[in-house]
Structure 1
Amino acid sequence: MQFLERGKRPSPRMRREMVRIVVNEIMRKCSCPSKRNSIEVAKKLVAKYPKSLQDIIEGDVIGPGYHSLVKQLQYRIENVKRSSTPKIRKRKHCTDDSDTDEIPPEQRAAIQDTYGCINWDVKFLPLGETPESQQEKKEKLKMMSQQTAANLEEVKHLMKLTFYTQRKQVNQGKNIKCLLEEWPFWFNELGMAVHFKELTGIGLKETFMRNLELKGKRLLNYFSTVGVNKNQKFLQAVTKCNVMREQVGGCSQDVTEMLLLLLSYFNEKEDAMFHYVEDTSLAEEVEMDKVNLTPTHVVCGGSCFSSKRFMLCVDRNVVHDNIPSLISALCMMFGSYYCFNIHYPSELASTLEFLQRYVFLDDLYTTLN
C-alpha cells in the first residue's frame, strides 16, 4: 500500500502477493467469479493507482492499461478453483459402432476460438435482405471477379452486405476450396479486409501499419540490444538479418526482419510460416505436400528480403498467387486465421500470439470491454 500510495511500481513478488490478497477477498464474496468481474476489479485498481499498476512501455500505455492485471487475477482465480474441480470426467456412453473422433463440421466450427470477434455468429440477415438476394449478390461478385477492372467500391459494398452468408458457410464447416470458388473476392486483400473489419470491428492493414510505425523500431531496437543476450542462436539470427538488410537496403525491410527475429526469439521454425520456391514458379507448380495446412506464405525467390511476389496457401490451396509485398501477405495470412476459424498451430503459437497482441489487435481489449 505504501508503494501504491506513493505512485511507485511494486516488485513482481509484491504484485503477486497483492493479487493473492485481492482474489482471496473476491472469492469470499463469490465462489465462481467471471472474467467480467476480474476486468471490473482491475479497471478500478488501475484507475486508482495508474502510476503503480498501469501497463506502460517507454511511456506508452499498452491497450487499456489493465490487461496484465486482469490476466494475473484470472490465473489466480483458476488456481484457487482447481482443487474443487473434478480431475476425471466420465465419457458419455457410446455404442460399439460409434466413432468418438467423428465430429460434425458445424459442431467442429462452433468450438473454434471466437476470441476477439464481435460478429462471429450473425443471427439475422441485414435489413431488406433475403436468402435469394444474398445468392444474387454472391453470383454478381463471382461475375465481377472475372472482370479486369471491377468497381472496387461496389465490391466492398457487396462483400459487406453478404457477410451474413459468408459467416454461415464458414461456421457450417465449408472447406477452403469451396469458399474460394464461391467467394473469390474474399481471398484478395480488399475482400478479406472487409470481412475482417465486420468480424472484429478493426481495420486489418490500417491497424498493422499504425502499430508498425509506433512500435516497429522499438521492437527491433530491443532485439539488437537486450535480445542479443538471449542465446548464441538468436545473436546469429540478428547478425544474419543485418547482413541481408545491408545487401538489399531500404527501410521497408523492417517487417521482414521483425518476423524472422520473432520466430528466432521464440525458437519457432521459419518453414512453419514460409515456403520458398523459385521466383518464376506458378501456383500449380508449388509442391503442396511440403506446405503446412495452416495459412502459409509461399515466397517466390530465395529470400523474404528480396522477394517481389508472394502467394498465400490455406489448407494446401493457393488462394492468392500474386501478392506484391510481405506486408500485404502477412495481413492476409493473419486475417485468414480469424476469417476461416483456424487455430494457431503449436509451432507458431508464440509468434502469432505476439503479433496479435502487439500489432494487429492491440486495442482489442478496449473494443471488447
Structure 2
Amino acid sequence: MEVECIDEIQRVLPELDHERLLAITEHLSSVVGVTKKEDLAFLEKADFQEYLTPIQCRKLLQAFKQRELKDKVDTEVSSVPSGNVIPTSSLDIQRENGQSCFTPLQTQSYNPGSTLLKTQNSWISQFQIPWEKMPASLSQTMLRGQRASPADRRAMVRTVVSTMQQHCSNPNRAACTEIAKTIVAKYPLTFADMNEEGEQIGIGYYSLINQLKTRVEHVNRNNTSDRIRRPRTTQSSNADATIKTSRCKLDSYGCVNWQPRCLPDGETADSLEERRKQMAATFQSVGPRAADSPDIDFSMDLTYIYQRHMINTCPPPSVCEIEEQWPFLFTKRGLCNHFKILTGIDISDRLGEALQTKGKKIVHFFRSHSHNKDTQHILQDLDRNTTMQRSCHGIAAMLLLMKCFGEKEESIFILVDTTSTKASIERERALPPSPRLLMLGTTYLEATKWMVSIEGKVAYILDEDLGFADALSVLMASFYAFNVEYQEPACATLEFIQRFFLRINPEDGSKCTARTGVSRKTGQLVKRKSATMNPRVLSFLRQLTEFEWKNME
C-alpha cells in the first residue's frame, strides 16, 4: 500500500521531495489508518495538514475523490447490472417469549436509476478534446492545476462545442455528459465543481454539462431541423399515489452511518431497551435540561443503533411515536449529536461558522448586483439598524437566497408573535407536515426566539440564549435524522444550505424527489425535471464563484 500511496501523492504533487513523501505516507499508514489505495478517498484536510500547505491539501483531496469517481465508473461499465439490490443494514428487533434479539431485515430491492449514461453516438468514443486550440492563459492554468477563469472556461466550452459539431450538428445531453466527464477527469483542479474548501460538489462536472448543452442550443437557435426532439413519454399519474412500503436510497442520502449493523460491545437488545426506559423516566422527572448530562450523552450514543432501528422501520413511525420512545432526541443537543453520528458532521459548528463567513459573502454579492425590489428591501432593512447587523447576516443571506431562487419565505420560515407558545401556535395555526423554522419576532430579521415544527406539531423549542445558526441546525438535522425529503417549494434553498454551508455533497441526486411543482414564472403546476443537482443552485454557485474571481486582489 505504501508504494501506491507514494505514487498517488507524487502524481498530484511532483514538487515534494522524497523525505517529505515518506513522512506523509508513514503518518497516513500508522496514525490515520490508511491500509489500501481506496482509503485515500476518505481522507480529510486535518489528516495531513501539518505536512502540506492548504493549497497542496486541497489538490490532494480533490485528486483522491476524483480517482474514486473514476474507479466507480470503471467498475459500473464492466459490470452493467440489470438491477440493483442493496442489503439493508437495519435491524429488526423481535420479541419472542419475553426475549429480544436482533435479526437482519429482509434484503430489499430498489432501482435508483442507472448511473451509466447510454448513448448511441459512436463518434463519442473517438472524440478528442482540442486542447491545442485553447487560449494560452488556459493552457498555463491547466498545467499549474489552478482554477480556470470564467472567460477562459467559456472559451473552452465554445471551442469544444465547435469541434463536437463537426461530428454531430446537435449533440444530445448524453453526449455532453460524456465529454464533460472526460474534461474534468483530465483536469479536475481546473474544471471540476468544487467549493471553497476544495471539496467536489456532486458529481463534479454537472455545471460543465449544462454549459456545453446551453452552448449547443445557442448555436442551433435558428436551425429548426436540428432542434427537433421526439415527444416525451409520460408515466401514469397513478404512479405517485403508491404507498411507500420499502426503504429507498434517498432515505440514507448524505449519511455515513444510516443504520449500523453491529450492537455495541457488551450490549444486547434487552440492555439497550433498559437504557431507553431509564432515559424516558429521567426525562419525565427532570425534563429536557437533563440532556446536558454526560450520562444521557453516553446512553444516547450507545442506543444510536436502537434509535435508527425505530426511525428506519417501514412503514415509518410518526414523529410523535418517536418522541414518546426517545424524548431526548427532541432536544437540540440530542438531535445534533445524533446528526453527528449519522453524517460525521458537527452541524452546529459547521453551520455557525459558514453563516458568519459565507453568509457575509452572499450579502456582499447581492449588494454588488442589481436585483429586484424584494432583495433591495432586505438589504435596506439590514442597513437600517446597525446594531442588528452582526446577529442577522445569516438570516438576511437565507432570505436573499430564497428571493433569488423564487421561493417564498413561508416554505421554510414561519413568522409568529414573540409571545406565542407551543400550545397557542398549534391551536391557532395549521402547520405544514414538512419541517419549518418558527421565528418569533416582528420581522424575520428581528426574530430572537426559535421553534421547529414537524408533521404539523412543534417538536423543538430552543433556549432563548441560542441564535439563528442553532435554530437552522435543528431544522436541517431533522430532515436527515427522520428521513424527511425536502419540500418542493423550498428545495433549491435547502439544497444550497446542504451543499454550500454544510458541505454534504452526494453525487446521487437530490433530497427532493417531487415529480411536480409550482412554476416560479407562471404559478401553474408543472412537471419537475429530474436532475443530478438542482440547476438553480448550480447556477448561483457559478455566479458567486465568478463574482469572487472578479473581486480577487
TM-score (norm 2): 0.53
Match runs of 1:1-369 below 5 Å: 1=131, 2-3=134-135, 4-7=138-141, 9=149, 10-12=152-154, 14-15=156-157, 18=160, 44-47=185-188, 50=189, 52-55=190-193, 60-64=196-200, 68-69=204-205, 72=208, 87=233, 101-104=241-244, 106-107=245-246, 109-110=247-248, 112-146=250-284, 147=286, 150=290, 152-172=293-313, 173-226=316-369, 229-243=370-384, 245-246=385-386, 249-287=388-426, 289-324=429-464, 325-361=467-503
The one-letter code sitting in structure 2 at the alignment partner of 1:136 is E
Q: Secondary structure at the match of 1:103?
A: coil
Contact 2:323 2:329 in 1 (8 A): yes
Check 1:310–1:224 CA distance in 2 against 1; reply closer, same or farther (3 A cut).
same
The one-letter code sitting in structure 2 at the alignment partner of 1:141 is M
Q: Secondary structure at the match of 2:439?
A: strand
Q: Secondary structure at the match of 2:259?
A: coil
Q: Secondary structure at the match of 2:252?
A: coil
Check 1:233–1:65 CA distance in 2 against 1; reply closer, same or farther (3 A cut).
closer
The one-letter code sitting in structure 2 at the alignment partner of 1:217 is K
Inter-partner Cα distance in structure 2 for 1:203 and 1:20: 46
1:96 alignment counterpart: none
Check 1:276–1:213 CA distance in 2 against 1; reply closer, same or farther (3 A cut).
closer
2:534 alignment counterpart: none
Q: Secondary structure at the match of 2:365?
A: helix
Q: Secondary structure at the match of 1:310?
A: strand
The one-letter code sitting in structure 2 at the alignment partner of 1:180 is E
Contact 1:297 1:329 in 2 (8 A): yes
Contact 1:275 1:299 in 2 (8 A): yes
Deviations 1:256-305, CA, capped at 9 Å, x for gaps? 21122122221211122222222222211114653221111222232233
Check 1:323–1:76 CA distance in 2 against 1; reply closer, same or farther (3 A cut).
farther
The one-letter code sitting in structure 1 at the alignment partner of 2:377 is Q
Inter-partner Cα distance in structure 2 for 1:158 and 1:76: 53
Deviates more, 1:61-70 or 1:233-242: 61-70
Report how far residue 42 of structure 1 moved. Answer: 6.9
The one-letter code sitting in structure 1 at the alignment partner of 2:390 is C
Task: Count residues in correspondence.
Answer: 334
Check 1:117–1:64 CA distance in 2 against 1; reply closer, same or farther (3 A cut).
same
Bigger Cα Rg: 2
Check 1:196–1:66 CA distance in 2 against 1; reply closer, same or farther (3 A cut).
closer
The one-letter code sitting in structure 2 at the alignment partner of 1:326 is F
Deviations 1:18-59, CA, capped at 9 Å, x for gaps? 59989xxxxxxxxx9xx9x99996774235xx3x325567xx
Contact 1:275 1:291 in 2 (8 A): no
Inter-partner Cα distance in structure 2 for 1:292 and 1:91: 24
Greater RCO, 1 or 2 (C-alpha within 8 Å, sep 6+): 1
The one-letter code sitting in structure 1 at the alignment partner of 2:321 is C
Inter-partner Cα distance in structure 2 for 1:165 and 1:358: 31
Contact 1:138 1:182 in 2 (8 A): yes
Inter-partner Cα distance in structure 1 for 2:300 and 2:210: 38
Report how far residue 66 of structure 1 moved. Answer: 8.6
Check 1:136–1:21 CA distance in 2 against 1; reply closer, same or farther (3 A cut).
farther
RMSD of equivalent CA atoms: 3.8
Inter-partner Cα distance in structure 1 for 2:382 and 2:240: 48
Check 1:100–1:269 CA distance in 2 against 1; reply closer, same or farther (3 A cut).
closer
Inter-partner Cα distance in structure 2 for 1:66 and 1:336: 22
Contact 1:204 1:360 in 2 (8 A): yes
Report how far residue 138 of structure 1 moved. Answer: 1.2
Check 1:219–1:89 CA distance in 2 against 1; reply closer, same or farther (3 A cut).
closer
Q: Secondary structure at the match of 1:129?
A: coil
1:25 alignment counterpart: none
Contact 1:46 1:65 in 2 (8 A): no
Q: Secondary structure at the match of 2:499?
A: helix
Report how far residue 71 of structure 1 moved. Answer: 5.9
The one-letter code sitting in structure 2 at the alignment partner of 1:46 is Y
Inter-partner Cα distance in structure 2 for 1:315 and 1:203: 25
